[in-house]
Structure 1
Amino acid sequence: MKKINMTEASAIIGGTCETCENTYELMIVNGSDVCAAVTTCTDKNGVVTRSYKVSDKNNCPAIG
């Protein structure tokens, strides 16, 4: 049996695949409405990360 390192093992056991979803959220920052593009990613171990980027307000759902 051949010994392998962690990099080789992660490529075999599920790889390093990440699943991401993009959404838009209206947020309040310093009292102002801001539309944010939100990217939510889940790695192969189930760890969830979110990143935010300012976007055009037309992309966000209306509040009503």
Structure 2
Amino acid sequence: MKKPNNKKELIMLPLLIISIAMCIGGHFILQPSYQDNHWAEYSLAALPFLMFAVVIIAIKLAIKADKEE
């Protein structure tokens, strides 16, 4: 059984924090006070693509870490 490498797992922690911040930011932008702003609409439309990019980066980091072991 392999011993887990905590350093490689901690590398993905900023990606988790970024995705949490995007989720909270998306809910914040959904407030009625921002409903008429065009930038809010574009930001909400871009959020899924940004989250998908974060997932791709995390997968690449996981594959790289797995190959190093």
User: One fold, TM greater than 0.5?
Assistant: no
Instruction: Name the structure, 1 or 2, with higher relative contact order (CA <8 Å, separation 6+).
Output: 2
TM-score with structure 2 length normalisation?
Answer: 0.21
TM-score with structure 1 length normalisation?
Answer: 0.22
Identify, as 1 or 2, the structure richer in strand: 1
Identify, as 1 or 2, the structure richer in helix: 2
